Amino acid sequence: MPDAVHTTITGDGTVLEVVLDRPKANAIDAATSREMSRVFAEFRDDPSLRVAILTGGGDRFFSAGWDLNAAADGEAFEADYGEGGFGGFVELPNRTKPVICAVNGMAVGGGFEIAMAAEFVVAVEHARFWLPEAGLGIIPDAGAIRLPRQLPPVIANEILFAGRRLDADEALRWGLINAVAPSDQLMETARELADRILASAPLAVGAIMEINQSTSHRSLDDAFTSMRSGDLASYQQMLASEDAAEGPSSFGTEDGPPRWKGR
């Protein structure tokens, strides 16, 4: 069978583009998830890569989520999905680089959950987002945790309990995605967003992600205490970096934008 996960490096070697390509619905079985985990772990560990863009093959499905055909063949719901969990990056430890999901069609079940886990999401005009699991006698594990934190409770409940479908404009209105684009401009929109991220200092981006991951579940006072504890490695690295000195020293000068070194 052809490879289900294709990768390309763009952006002068700084952006990893990942295509999930499993016709007809880009559904994910355990083997595909493990391959995605490998790809995203390499992205995490490669110092030259700073942003990843994940999209689906074709123009109908971003991903239909868990491969129900694999389930019917005996694949367990709690199978080994790889270091990063289902979809490759959703639970990947020590990831301090952002992922952009370029949703090229329907994001269903686990496909929607993957998009929820990304730092940024852009979607085509015909994209649809929904979680059908309760109607199948199971639950969307990650969705049950993430969605009530991202939406008003009554909206999250209607999606989780009753299978409400969101179109791209609704998803934008509720703050689940950053932008809506025509089909032929989806990847261009994602790449433009990646370029704006690349204009920021890489250690600063990593520090922000680390702080968010470490403090989002804490009270405000505890979050500040955690940030100032000295225990957040990326934050401490950013504070002591050459880039932290470069940015302020170049601000307002005629030397052009800061030249980030990542150290």
Q: Which of 17, 119, 133, 210 is catalytic?
A: 133
Q: Which of 17, 113, 119, 210 is catalytic?
A: 113
User: 91 catalytic, yes or no?
Assistant: no
Could you give the CA distance from residue 36 to residue 117 in angstroms, rounded to a whole number?
A: 14
Could you give the CA distance from residue 192 to residue 169 in angstroms, rounded to a whole number?
A: 20
User: What is the chain's length?
Assistant: 263
DSSP assignment of 128-154: EEE--GGGGTS--HHHHHHHHHHS-HH
For the chain, helix, strand, coil in percent to 5 are 45, 15, 40
- Count CB atoms within 10 A of the CB of residue 73: 9
Phi, psi of 210 (to 5 degrees): -65, -45
Could you give the CA distance from residue 192 to residue 161 in angstroms, rounded to a whole number?
A: 36
User: 113 catalytic, yes or no?
Assistant: yes
E strands, 142-241, in order: 166-167, 179-181
Coil, strand or helix at 123: strand
Q: Whose structure tokens read 């987002």?
A: 129
Q: Are 235 and 210 in contact (CB under 8 A)?
A: yes
Q: Are 218 and 226 in contact (CB under 8 A)?
A: yes
Could you give the CA distance from residue 262 to residue 242 in angstroms, rounded to a whole number?
A: 8
Amino acid at 213: Q
Report the catalytic residues. 113, 133
